[in-house]
Amino acid sequence: MSIFQLLDIEKYYVVGRTPAGEEKRLKALDGVRLEINEGDTVALVGESGSGKSTLVRLMLGLEQPSNGRLFFRQTELRQLDRQARQAFSREVSFIYQNARGSMNPRMRVGDILGEPMLLHRLCNESEVRQRVSALLEKVGLSASMLDRFPSELSGGQVRRVAVARALASEPRVIIADECVAGLDVSVQAQLLNLLRTLCTEMGLTLVFITHDLGVASYLCQRTSVMYLGCIVEQGPTVELLTKPLHPYTRALTDSFPSFDRPLNAALKGEIPSPIHLPQGCRFSTRCPDVQEACRHKDPPLTLHPGENRAVACLFPLRVEVGVT
């Protein structure tokens, strides 16, 4: 069953006007098509500025698309009434990248985790402390954390509390924005194992925003690669990372550290300005395989013949082993 369905989503921001009086638009998203089904674990991967966080804000209903349609369980998100919106806020939880900054520093952990339970009337006030203690145990923390403030927690502890808060409303969908970035490798591994276990045991749908391909390959079954506001390739994570079809995906995988080869900065240059998009394919200014047709035609995201993947490239890479 479809949870989210995004049809030709565009999001732009007016950032000024030209001397002729026309609007100058920053295109954060440009024609995104994406479907997320019940139980999916999906990674959104791309460089900073690719549109990942903007896409998530639209999926959470924090902003409205400039064009296109965004459905949640077959109902357009912007058409949800007050009751349906409340149900949506319970069913879809968000884990912030800045976990500590997202918490009220004056509230204790017990109150932070108990607030969603009371807001959605999941239990009586007398039951909150017991439920919060059980929730802390589920994410690997002791009940002694109940009376601590966020400032008294370590980086790993506060991230676990953030995961617990996302689970407090008993959601069906969790959206996480770089929620393990900046942590020690050992702590990061603990959180990834926790998220993976929770998704399996609770049957959660996970949308995970990351620039780390290692995290995507470990945690998510499917991956969508974003570049300059568009999805340029999507499909099963293992196939996408081992046999990429788009030159941008290949560049990301070549740049990822590995023990068996030297680190290779395969992608030169900076991502172009979303205010002045390149003519034709938006990756043509950085693509090592660019051809003349790429500078004139912007390829749509289409299914690749014989592959369970979609790619936005006029000349996709060959997928035979050892051939690119």
- φ, ψ of residue 282 in degrees (nearest 5): -70, -15
Looking at residue 49, its pLDDT comes to 85
What is the arithmetic mean of pLDDT over 203-212? 90
In a domain, 318, yes or no: no
Domain that holds residue 243: 2-311
**Domain count for the chain:** 1
β-bridge mates for residue 302, sequence order: 311
Q: What percent of the chain has pLDDT over 90?
A: 58
Residues 106-143: pLDDT tens digits? Answer: 999 999 999 999 999 898 888 999 999 999 998 889 98
Q: Is the pLDDT of residue 296 over 60?
A: yes
Q: In the structure encoding, which two tokens stand for residue 29, read together? A: 């998203």
pLDDT, one tens digit per residue, over 152-191 is: 998 889 989 999 999 999 999 999 988 877 777 778 888 8
What is the model's pLDDT at position 261? 61
- Residues 319, 223, 231, CA angle at the centre, nearest 5°? 85
pLDDT at 322: 42
pLDDT at 323 over 50: no
Helix (H) or strand (E) holding 87: helix 82-91
**In the block, residue with structure tokens 């509390």:** 161
- Could you read off the pLDDT of 25-80 as tens digits, one per residue? 899 999 999 999 999 999 999 888 889 999 999 999 999 999 999 999 999 999 99
The structure tokens listed for 58 are 């639209």
pTM over 0.75, yes/no = yes
The C-alpha R_g of the chain, in whole angstroms, comes to 21
The stretch 209-238 carries a mean pLDDT of 92
Q: Which residue has the higher pLDDT, 182 or 323?
A: 182
CA pair distance 312, 33, nearest whole angstrom: 12
Reply yes or no on whether the pLDDT at 237 is more than 60.
yes
How does the average pLDDT of the chain come out, rounded?
A: 89
Is residue 135 in some structural domain? yes
Burial of residue 120 (number of CB atoms within 10 Å: 0-12, 13-18, 19+): middle
Q: Which long-range contacts (CB under 8 A, 24 or more apart) does 105-112 make?
A: 105/149, 105/150, 105/151, 106/149, 107/149, 107/150, 108/146, 108/147, 108/148, 108/149, 109/136, 109/145, 109/146, 109/147, 109/148, 109/149, 109/150, 109/153, 109/161, 110/146, 110/147, 112/150, 112/161, 112/165
The reported pLDDT for the residue numbered 321 is 44
What is the structure's pLDDT at 259?
59
Q: Is residue 322 part of a domain?
A: no
Answer whether residue 281 is part of any domain.
yes
Structure confidence at residue 324 as a pLDDT band (50, 70, 90): very low
Residue 81 resides in a domain:
yes
Give pLDDT, residue 263.
63
Residue 117: the pLDDT is 93
- Report which DSSP code applies to 102: T
Q: 320 lies in a domain?
A: no
Residue 8 placed within a domain: yes
CATH of the domain at 209: 3.40.50.300
How sure is the predictor about 298, in pLDDT bands with cuts at 50, 70 and 90? Answer: very high
Closest CA to 122 of 81, 170, 164: 170
Is residue 276 in a domain?
Answer: yes
Burial profile 4-23: b = 16 or more Cβ within 10 angstroms, e = fewer: bbbbebbbbeeeeeeeeeee
Contact 316, 246 (CB under 8 A): yes
pLDDT at residue 185 in the model:
79
The candidate with the shortest Cα–Cα distance to 40, out of 173, 238, 170, 218, is: 173
